[in-house]
């Protein structure tokens, strides 16, 4: 059998409605999940520290927004996710996972109850096509489904001064007093948006959903309000170092369709006692038997950085797993990482080796998260 190489060009990268703003800010653009996205505007570490100490503004419009409407909309979503969202109140949100029948993770999601008969599901950009088809198939005949991603922009304002920035941009008390995983409609910078107190950095903050046409105006209002307070635009590079310090899983690295929530330390979003959902039987079996491996955090004690895919070795030098994520932690000032190892080698204090370019560098299992805000 012959193997032909296609000369067909790759599809062009999509651009978010904020592309011109990124270019004007000298953003370094890179391909990501089919989009041309800013990886950084200045040094990644500067953007990282701005988010930890003041505020950062992220364009995350590549994320997927799936809307379900109808009397059974919440029931459909509840049957497909591991957390219990069946009685989620309007104006509240929950982090969860969606699994297949094997109990492995299709995606990690946030479910927002936006109305009495309306639910918004936010999924990862890399999984949009898969998750859109998944929810559409299960919604058929039960409720209306629409993929609103093409017309929706998402801007994340993150950091300890996020509320100050929002207030300066005109946010009212209702939004400023939102508790974590709550949402409300807002008028901000002359734009109507949905504001949620959610994020992916380990810091306080808000995420704003708005129409594409309104995104540049909202971005501009937040930048103008935030710059005097130390806000910086932040790209994918800082988003990754921030989420890793906070030990927030990245789909495609730390979780995927070969991992279960119980292995990944996400047992807290798996509610096995609340009725049936897709993947429940497999997860019940795994919980009863006990997972054989676990996602752990490690610090490098030798010189080196454990990167995605690097082998993890035990004290005898045998390969026992691999690194899923790793980087220098700008806030914790240590080289940190995540990876799967056998349960019996997952306790904090366990000595490990990370194979870096054919050399074994010492590491140690540590408690997670690496960073937690006060």
pLDDT digits (tens, 9 = 90+) for 56-87: 999 999 999 999 999 999 999 999 999 999 99
Inside any domain, residue 3: no
CB 371 within 8 A of CB 202: yes
DSSP labels for 310-338? -EEE-TTS-EEEEEEEEEEETTTTEEEEE
From residue 68, alpha-carbon distances to 188, 221, 278, 344 in Å are 26, 31, 18, 43
* Separation between Cα atoms, residue 224 and residue 227, nearest integer Å: 6
From 239, 254, 289, the end of a domain falls on 289
Helix axes 44-53, 236-245, angle to 10 degrees: 50
Q: Please, where are the H alpha helices in the chain?
A: 19-24, 44-53, 73-78, 128-139, 162-168, 173-176, 215-226, 236-245, 280-289
Q: Could you identify the residue written with the tokens 């890399």?
A: 126
Inside any domain, residue 1: no
Q: Domain range holding 245?
A: 11-289
- Is the same domain home to 214 and 313? no
From 245, 273, 289, the end of a domain falls on 289
Number of domains forming the structure of the chain: 2
- Is the same domain home to 347 and 201? no
pLDDT of residue 374: 75
pTM reported for the whole predicted model: 0.95
- Ranges under pLDDT 50 in the chain: 1-6
pLDDT of residue 182: 99
From residue 248, alpha-carbon distances to 101, 202, 240, 266 in Å are 24, 8, 9, 10
How long is the chain?
374
- State the CATH number of the domain containing residue 315: 2.40.30.110
pLDDT of residue 9: 62
CB 214 within 8 A of CB 153: yes
């Amino acid at each position: 059998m012959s193997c032909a190489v296609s000369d067909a060009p790759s599809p062009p990268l999509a651009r978010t409605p904020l592309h011109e703003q990124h270019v004007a800010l000298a953003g370094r653009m890179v391909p990501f999940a089919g989009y041309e996205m800013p990886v950084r505007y200045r040094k990644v570490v500067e953007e990282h520290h701005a988010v930890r100490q003041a505020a950062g503004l992220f364009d995350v419009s590549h994320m997927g927004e799936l809307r379900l409407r109808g009397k059974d909309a919440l029931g459909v979503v509840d049957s497909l996710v591991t957390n219990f969202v069946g009685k989620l109140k309007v104006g509240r949100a929950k982090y969860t996972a969606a699994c297949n029948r094997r109990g492995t993770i299709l995606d990690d999601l946030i479910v927002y109850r936006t109305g009495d008969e309306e639910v918004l599901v936010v999924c990862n950009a890399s999984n949009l096509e898969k998750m859109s088809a998944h929810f559409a198939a299960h919604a058929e005949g039960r409720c209306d489904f629409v993929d609103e991603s093409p017309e929706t922009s998402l801007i994340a304002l993150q950091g300890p001064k996020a509320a100050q920035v929002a207030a300066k941009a005109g946010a009212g008390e209702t939004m400023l007093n939102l508790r974590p995983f709550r949402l409300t409609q807002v008028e901000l910078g002359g734009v109507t948006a949905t504001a949620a107190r959610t994020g992916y950095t380990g810091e306080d903050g808000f995420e704003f959903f708005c129409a594409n046409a309104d995104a540049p105006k909202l971005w501009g209002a937040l930048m103008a309000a935030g710059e005097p307070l130390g806000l910086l635009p932040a790209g994918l590079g800082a988003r990754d170092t921030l989420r890793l310090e906070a030990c927030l899983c990245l789909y495609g690295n730390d979780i995927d369709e070969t991992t279960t929530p119980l292995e990944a330390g996400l047992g807290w979003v798996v509610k096995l006692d609340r009725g049936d959902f897709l993947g429940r039987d497999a997860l019940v079996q795994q919980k009863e038997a006990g997972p054989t491996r676990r996602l752990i955090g490690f610090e490098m004690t030798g010189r080196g950085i454990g990167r995605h895919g690097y082998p993890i070795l035990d004290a005898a030098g045998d390969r026992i797993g691999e690194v899923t994520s790793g980087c220098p932690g700008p806030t914790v000032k240590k080289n940190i990482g995540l990876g799967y190892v056998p349960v019996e080698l997952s306790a904090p204090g366990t000595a490990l080796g990370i194979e870096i370019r054919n050399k074994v560098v010492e590491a140690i299992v540590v408690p997670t998260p690496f960073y937690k805000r006060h």
